[in-house]
Amino acid sequence: MHINKKAAKIWQLAFSITFVSLLVACEDPGSIGSDFIEKSELKIDTVYLSSFAEQALDPYLGRLSRSSIGNFSDPLFGDFETISFFKPPISRPDDSFEVDRNNPLLLKLRLHDEVVYGDTSTVNSYSIYRINNLWRGSNFRKSESISYGSELIGSFTDNSFDSSGFANVTLDGSWKQDYINYYNLGDSVREQTYRNNEFGLAIVPNANSEKIIHTNFSLSSFIIVDADTSTYPILDWATDIERTIAISDPDRIILQNAPDNYLTINFSEVADNIESKNFVRADLVFNVDTAAINNSIGNSLRASNLGLGLIVGPSDDIAYELGFGGVDIASAINDGEYRLNITTLLNNYLYAGASIEEVYLYLVATEGVLTHTSLFSTNTGLGNAPRVIVYGIEEEK
């Protein structure tokens, strides 16, 4: 749970790394689709990755483009409970403007209904509670704890959203009265007093939730209803995710996007074991366990991902790089596999002395969207095992 029963979970990154050991196998010469290279001149080598390092990560979960709310038990990837929380703004047009205690306060929440994780046929209900502790969206991470009270401040259901994807949720209770007191303070003390004493509101799925929805706080707003209704952007927001991992399978690599984990590969060992350095292309290939993914979800839905990405390290803040940095090399899924072109990566090492001992492989997805993939590991047969396929030019003898 995310209430005060939740203990802070510090994910320890595993820095003890067993790097890639390699097995090189030659295949029959073939073509890579180039008209200017004779088929007989091509040589295809396959470098199998027999081991690499899987690392845990403590991701940033604040101010993302999507914020998740709900519960879902995924038979392949585990059990998830997510809450989102936000802080209404406290700014006002001028120092003379005050809010009457009887004026309604609303959260206009924007739903992204095209991104649902779970059983779309169910109707979830959600409750809003007052947060008890300080947090900041710009640096909020999964290991942090959020505590909230038991007084109901607001509630809504999936049916509360209109055809434009917005729900107007009334905010009430003691929180409303305290907020108006802060709002009506003078400019010199209002913001500081509010920041020191008010920590925002949590949106929590009720117990019967069977799916996870994604909202957008940057498109949501806070509304003070009066003669001249005032609308303000949300001041801050974040998401808290608890996940119970499904039973691990040594034949599979589960990657999830918060991002919660990633792989580290030493590509210099790959390059050093290529039989011929005169190659025209090198592809890193991971096969997807599509049967397990497709057959384990039933009538529910999983959000799609954007593919696998590679970032060349080292990095002082891997969580930030994987969450918000640019991708150096990427590949979408095609015919059950991810194929990343690492030709330039290897050539930069072989001919320019670039460092590629620490390269991060991770699952790319829209910020805040919960998504996963299952890849075949090194324990599977050679037809599915992770590998680098090298297309070289046959040397004359």
Task: From 233, 175, 214, select the one nearest 61 (Cα to Cα).
Answer: 214
Instruction: Examine the pLDDT at 17 and tell me if it is beyond 80.
Output: no
Whether residue 239 is found in the same domain as residue 274:
no
Asked which of 203, 222, 244 is the last residue of a domain, the reply is 244
Same domain, 85 and 202: yes
pLDDT at 283: 98
Rounded to 10°, the helix 187-197/173-183 angle is 150
Residue 3 has pLDDT above 80, yes or no: no
Same domain, 211 and 282: no
DSSP notation for 69-112:
EEEEEETTTEEEEEEEEEE-----S-TT----TTS-EEEEEEEE
Give the residue, 213 or 247, on which the prediction is more confident.
213
Residue 35 has pLDDT above 80, yes or no: no
Lowest model confidence (mean pLDDT) among 72-76, 96-100, 126-130, 365-369: 96-100
Clarify whether residues 291 and 319 are in a common domain: yes
Residues 238 and 257 in one domain: no
221/223 Cα distance (integer angstroms): 6
pLDDT at residue 81 tops 80: yes
Are residue 181 and residue 237 in the same domain, yes or no?
yes
Average pLDDT of the chain, as a whole number: 87
Residue 4, in any domain of the structure = no
93 pLDDT tier (thresholds 50, 70, 90): confident
Q: Which residue, of 244, 270, 285, is where some domain finishes?
A: 244
Q: Are residues 216 and 73 in the same domain?
A: yes
Q: What is the pLDDT of residue 39?
A: 52
H or E element in which residue 216 lies: strand 211-224
Asked if pLDDT for residue 28 goes beyond 50, the answer is no
Domain boundary among 223, 244, 265: 244
Residues 160, 29, single domain; the answer is: no
Asked if the structure places residue 130 within a domain, the reply is yes
Percent of the chain surpassing pLDDT 70: 89
* Alpha helix segments (H runs only) across 273-382: 290-295, 318-324, 343-352
CA-CA distance, 235 to 222, in Å (whole number)?
A: 9
- How many domains would you assign to the chain? 2
Same domain, 140 and 256: no
* pLDDT at 397 (0 to 100): 55
Claim to verify: residue 257 and residue 223 sit in the same structural domain: no
In a domain, 11, yes or no: no
pTM of the model: 0.86
Question: In what helix (H) or strand (E) does residue 187 lie, and over which residues does it extend?
Answer: helix 187-197
Question: Do 184 and 286 reside in the same domain of the chain?
Answer: no
Identify whether 7 is part of a domain: no
Structure tokens at 139: 């640096």
Q: Is residue 292 part of a domain?
A: yes
Domain of residue 368 covers: 22-58+248-393
279 against 382, higher pLDDT: 279
Instruction: Indicate whether 1 belongs to any domain.
Output: no
Are 72 and 206 contained in the same domain? yes
